[in-house]
Structures are given as C-alpha cells and as structure tokens.
C-alpha cells in the first residue's frame, strides 16, 4: 500500500491570530463576542469575526467546532435573545426575533444547505418563486414568473431551463436552482454549507464559476466545506473555528493545507493516512460479469458487466466518476437496489442469493451507506437503539429482548470505536458527522461480517475524524475483514487501498495494484480513455 501520506502529531501553538481589521466601510458583517450555550455544552465561546463586503469568506473547522451554530444564528434559526453578544449587519445591530428565518431572508441573508430543500415535482421557476409568485387579478402570472426566472438565471450565468422539472435535474443543476432561489430574495450575504458534498468534479468547477460571478455582482459569500482544497480555489479569507472559538482569520494566500489542518486540529499534519502492513489472504468475494437493471425502470441497465474479486484482510478501492455505477454496485450486492439479470456473486465460493439487506447480513455482507442520515441511521433514536437495531435477533429470547445483553454488546462497540457521547441514550441527531458514522459502522460490525462495503465512508467528516476512520479500517483488515471502499476522493482511494477497481458507465474498466496506480491512470480508466 502507498503510505507517502500523513500522521497527526506534534502540538502546535494555540495562540489566536487575526489579520489587521479592515476599514469599517468594508465590513458588511461583524460578530462581537458571540456565545451560544446548550444544556451542558458551550457551542460558541466569545466569537468575534469580521467579514468584508463582496468577499468569499471560508469558515472551516472539525465537526462540533461551531460552524453550523454560528450560521444558524446568522440565518435566524436561533433568534436574538437565545445567545450572548452582538451581530452587526451593514452597521446596524441584527436582531432576528419572532419571524427570525423569514426576517433574515428579508434583510438579505440567505443560506443554501447541504441537504437541498427543493420540491422535486415542480419546475425550476416554481421552486425559485415558491410562496412569492407574481399575481395578476388574483391568479399567478405564469409568463412573468418564467420571464423573471430567466432574467435571474441569465444575470448570474446559471445554465438551467426555467420550466425544467427539478426531479429531472442532476445534483449540480439542483444546487444552481437553490442558489437562484436565494438570489431571488435579493440576498446580499449567501451562506453555502458543504455545497459540493454531492457534486462531481465538473459540477464543482461550475459552482466555483458561479461564485466568482456572484462576487462580481457584489454578493458576499460565506463558504463552509470539509474539502480543504476548495478554500484555496475560491476563498479570499479563511476563518478557523475550534471548540467554539475563533483560532485564526487570515488571507487565504497566506495559508497552506498543512497550516490550515494544524489550526483545525491543534496538531501538525505530517501524514494524511495511517501506515498499515496488510497481508491479504484468500479470495472471499467474487463478482463475475454482473448485470443489473433499475428496479423502477426495468429497461434501464445500471450495471453492464462488472467483475472483480476481494481478498481476506484487503481494502479494495472502487473509483469512478459520478454516474459510473459505484453506489448501484454496492446496493445491488447488498440486495437493496438493482435486479440482477446476469452474472454471479460468490462469497466463500458459494453463490449468493440476496433478496434484501437481511439476507445479505445473514450471509456475511454489511454496508455502510453513502448517505448515513437517510439510509444509515434513525436520527431520532439513541446510539444504543441504532447499534442494536439490525442485530436484535442476537438479544431475543422467546418472548422479549434481553436489555442487559443489548446494552453490554452495544457499549462494547461504542467504546471500541471511541464514539464520543456521555452515554448510549444520546440521540443520534445530536452527534457530529464523525460520531454518526461510527454508530453506523458499529451496528454493522455487530453483525460479524466477512465483507464490509463502505460507500464514501468519510463524506462530510472533518480531517481529524477521517483519520480515526482510516485507523479503524486498518484495524478491521487486521482482524481479517475484507473491505470494499467506494470514494469520490481520489487521494483517499490511493492512500487507503491495496488495489483499485475503476468503473466507467456501469462497467469495471480495470483493476490496478496500488504500486502501479496513479491519479492519471485511474482517471484515464474512469473517463473511458484507457
């Protein structure tokens, strides 16, 4: 395995550093000594921060650093009076009260969340002007609605058709629609929370172009992301939060990835991926010429011939562009998506007959899904209930669940994966992304799998939590578990895999040993050039 990457070590100075205050005329947003507390938790501690008019200002930090809390205050989710300190917007104190979210929008502050909030069954124009449709004689003036939509899209160079149904759009164009919806409110400050988490590389570059256009129009953007390279691609200034405090605010040009990580985690990064000494054993999983169709649309073939094998104690990385069939492959093997029309899947030499996830689990397969919030967790349930849910058969007597056995087993997994919570009755919707992911992994490890499929296991997770997940992957392979790791992050695939299977257009385009794998070779297979 390639290990020319990094371990987190060496404590760095925690001194808070900031740039010289710009002219007050340049300041559009001024946070002064903002503190926000929840029961038993101080989420923000005396945060003071200035944002200049017309800049793209990045805010980064580990999960739990306070980024989302600060933006929820700014966008009115937490109204004035529920926090200490002051916020000044264009020189006037911002006091968002009863109609706080609507009040923020009316003031010119809009937020685009990671989870899109569009209505899929209506058009782009209808989404953009939902609730504020132009009326004439008591009826919606559809010509004006679509004309205004087109004018808005043209002004900001957004390439979408006003009458396109949102459900037929790709994720990138949905993101554009969300931005257009915010701009239709004459937003002067646009907050983007993890805007690229589900975007392909081409769509990310398109988003960057849009943000530069917004900057030309004088819109101030606050940009939040776990993808550190994006700060260097688009932002003018970066603020780092850690444990609810501002650690530093600096011009992006004065920073490097290494400095940014050291501010975020309080340690210098000398390696990104932990070292491992894997020695894969015999083949445990064989997939041969697998074909499958969309269960909702039987004429649409989603897998068109996928072949690979997986060895005991190995990490097989699966790379490919969005739409290549990576997630469809994982979900089909796990019995939760495609209908197999041709080909075989064998585990331990025996042909698998998997109709659903329960069948898969019984036969030794487990899946950590791409979207942990939608498919991996019951967010309003506790850590305990989430870990034990797929494994209740282990604790069932003839008439009830053995609560003590359930608690003991769940606690063992929570402790071994270092889930950070005061007790197992904490609800999962209160956990950081990294700890939520550990809960998902815990529940599937309890099923004692031979093969663990991990689909984008570090998506939306900060750099420190990623390193913990990487170490966990190494620990699992040392125990003999075979891992399929799908990832949109090519550096992650190269840093953690023993071999890489590349997909293109629903097919396996080739498999590379890590010693011969490079970004160029992987991308040439992923794009169909090789």
Rounded (5°) CA angle 243-247-249: 135
Which pLDDT tens digit goes with each residue over 248-277? Answer: 999 999 998 888 888 887 766 556 788 888
* 368, 452 Cβ separation under 8 angstroms: yes
Rounded Cα distance, 383 and 438, in Å: 10
**Torsional sign, CA 374, 378, 379, 385:** negative
Q: Where are the domains of the chain?
A: 12-108+188-264, 115-185, 272-364+449-530, 374-448
Which pLDDT tens digit goes with each residue over 403-441? Answer: 898 899 999 888 888 888 888 999 998 887 778 888 998
Rounded Cα distance, 43 and 35, in Å: 7
Specify the DSSP class assigned to residue 154.
Answer: H
Task: Please give the CATH number for the structural domain made up of 12-108+188-264.
Answer: 3.40.50.300
Helical ranges in 156-271 per DSSP H: 171-183, 201-216, 228-234, 257-265
Rounded Cα distance, 82 and 133, in Å: 33
Better-scored residue on pLDDT, 205 or 189: 189
Distance spanning both ends of the chain, measured CA to CA: 23
What integer pLDDT is reported at residue 270 of this predicted model?
59
Residue in 19, 8, 43, 38 with CA at minimum distance from that of residue 241: 43
Which pLDDT tens digit goes with each residue over 115-154? Answer: 678 898 999 999 999 988 999 989 999 999 999 999 999 9
Instruction: State the pTM of this model.
Output: 0.63
Query: How much is the CA Rg of the chain, to the nearest whole Å?
Result: 24
Which pLDDT tens digit goes with each residue over 266-310? Answer: 766 556 788 888 999 999 999 999 999 988 778 888 899 999 999
What integer pLDDT is reported at residue 113 of this predicted model?
79
pLDDT for residue 163 is more than 70:
yes
Rounded Cα distance, 326 and 321, in Å: 9
Q: For residue 312, give both structure tokens.
A: 């005991």
Topology alike, domains 12-108+188-264 and 272-364+449-530: yes
Q: Indicate the pairing of strand 365-368 with strand 451-455.
A: parallel
pLDDT for residue 321 is more than 80:
no
Rounded Cα distance, 462 and 163, in Å: 38
Better-scored residue on pLDDT, 199 or 8: 199
Q: For residue 341, give both structure tokens.
A: 């029309």
Helical ranges in 185-265 per DSSP H: 201-216, 228-234, 257-265
Task: Please give the CATH number for the structural domain made up of 272-364+449-530.
Answer: 3.40.50.300
Dihedral in degrees, nearest 10, Cα atoms 164, 166, 170, 175: 110
Average pLDDT, the chain: 86
Q: How many CA atoms lie within 13 A of 192 on its CB side?
A: 31
pLDDT for residue 17 is more than 90:
no
Q: For residue 116, give both structure tokens.
A: 């899109």
CA 171 vs CA 175, 200, 269, 291, 372: distances in Å: 6, 9, 33, 25, 18
Write out the H or E segment, with its range, that includes residue 58: strand 56-60
Buried b (16+ CB within 10 A) or exposed e, 209-225: ebbeebbeeebbbbbbb
Answer left, alpha or beta for residue 314, where phi above 0 means left and psi between -120 and 50 means alpha: beta
What integer pLDDT is reported at residue 143 of this predicted model?
95
Which range is least confidently modeled, 97-106, 234-243, 312-321, 355-364?
Answer: 97-106
């Amino acid at each position: 395995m390639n290990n020319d990457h990094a371990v987190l070590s060496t404590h760095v100075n925690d001194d808070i550093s900031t740039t010289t205050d710009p002219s007050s005329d340049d300041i559009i947003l001024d946070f002064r000594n903002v503190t926000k507390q929840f029961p038993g938790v101080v989420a923000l501690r005396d945060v003071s921060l200035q944002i200049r008019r017309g800049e793209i200002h990045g805010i980064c930090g580990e999960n739990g650093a306070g980024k989302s809390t600060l933006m929820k205050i700014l966008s009115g989710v937490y109204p004035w009076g529920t926090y200490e300190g002051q916020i000044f917007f264009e020189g006037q104190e911002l006091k968002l009260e009863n109609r706080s979210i609507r009040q923020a929008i009316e003031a010119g502050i809009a937020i685009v969340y990671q989870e899109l909030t569009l209505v899929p069954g209506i058009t782009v124009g209808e989404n953009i002007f939902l609730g504020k449709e132009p009326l004439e004689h008591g009826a919606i003036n559809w010509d004006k609605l679509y004309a205004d939509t087109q004018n808005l899209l043209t002004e900001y160079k957004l390439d979408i058709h006003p009458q396109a149904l949102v459900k037929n759009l790709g994720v990138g164009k949905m993101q554009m629609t969300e931005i257009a919806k915010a701009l239709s409110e004459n937003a002067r400050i646009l907050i983007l929370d993890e805007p690229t988490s589900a975007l392909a590389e081409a769509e990310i570059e398109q988003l960057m172009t849009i943000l530069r256009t917004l900057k030309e129009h004088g819109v101030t953007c606050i940009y939040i992301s776990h993808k550190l390279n994006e700060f260097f691609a688009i932002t003018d200034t970066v603020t780092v939060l850690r444990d609810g405090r501002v650690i530093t605010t600096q011009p992006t040009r004065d920073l490097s990835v290494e400095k940014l990580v050291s501010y975020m985690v309080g340690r210098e990064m000398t390696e990104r991926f932990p070292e491992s000494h894997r020695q894969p054993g015999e083949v445990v999983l064989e997939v041969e010429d697998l074909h499958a169709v969309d269960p909702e649309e039987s004429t649409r073939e989603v897998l068109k011939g996928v072949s690979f094998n997986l060895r005991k104690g190995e990490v097989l990385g699966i790379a490919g562009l969005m739409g290549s069939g990576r997630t469809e492959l994982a979900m089909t093997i796990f019995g939760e998506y495609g209908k197999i029309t041709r080909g075989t899947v064998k585990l331990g030499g025996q042909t698998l007959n998997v109709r659903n996830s329960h069948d898969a689990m019984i036969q030794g397969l487990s899946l950590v899904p791409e979207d942990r919030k939608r498919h991996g967790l019951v967010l309003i349930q506790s850590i305990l209930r989430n870990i034990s849910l797929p494994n209740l058969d282990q604790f069932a007597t003839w008439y009830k669940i053995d609560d003590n056995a359930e608690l003991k087993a769940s606690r063992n997994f929570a402790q071994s994966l270092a889930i950070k919570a005061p007790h197992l009755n904490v609800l999962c919707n209160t956990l950081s992304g990294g700890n939520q992911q550990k809960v998902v992994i815990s529940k599937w490890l309890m099923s004692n799998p031979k093969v663990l499929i991990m689909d984008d296991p570090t998506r939306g997770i900060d750099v420190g939590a990623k390193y913990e997940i990487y170490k966990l992957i190494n620990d699992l392979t040392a125990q003999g578990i075979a891992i399929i790791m799908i990832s949109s992050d090519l550096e992650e695939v190269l840093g953690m895999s023993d071999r890489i299977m590349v997909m293109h257009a629903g097919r396996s385009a080739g498999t590379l040993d890590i010693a011969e794998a490079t970004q160029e070779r992987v991308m040439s297979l992923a794009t169909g050039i090789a």
